[in-house]
Amino acid sequence: MSELNGRTELQVLNANYERENARERIQDAIYTLKRAKDDLERCLANFDDAENDRERARQLNYAIHYLVTNIQPNIRIDLLANSQAELTRTGL
């Protein structure tokens, strides 16, 4: 196996793989946040169209529930952290 600046070809390939993996994970997080923005804008429209404060409170409850149950788990911060650790391990 050839060496590139003291690194083996396998190490360089692994580092490239980890970079691409990290990039995809960031793109996934962006997609999740964009989708969340659209959902929350619908919630805001429903809030604005509500006939009374009870309906407005219901929309706020929906927004809170959505943020807690959909945003955090779907962004996959754990995968972002794993990618960060893997990039650090490459040493490149």
| HSE-up (13 A, CA, CB side) for residue 39 | 15
**CA 64 to chain CA mean position, Å:** 18
Amino acid identity of residue 13, one-letter, is: L
Walk along the chain (92 residues) in steps of 10 and give the mean pLDDT of each run.
67 92 95 94 97 97 92 87 91 76
Termini Cα distance of the chain = 18
What's residue 92's pLDDT? 75
15 CB contacts (<8 Å, ≥6 apart)?
7, 87, 90, 92
Question: Under a CB-based contact definition with an 8 Å cutoff, are residues 90 and 18 in contact?
Answer: yes
pLDDT at 5: 64
- How far is residue 25's CA from residue 36's CA, in Å, rounded to a whole number? 17
Q: For the whole model, what pTM was predicted?
A: 0.76
How many Cβ atoms from other residues are within 10 Å of residue 70's Cβ?
Answer: 14
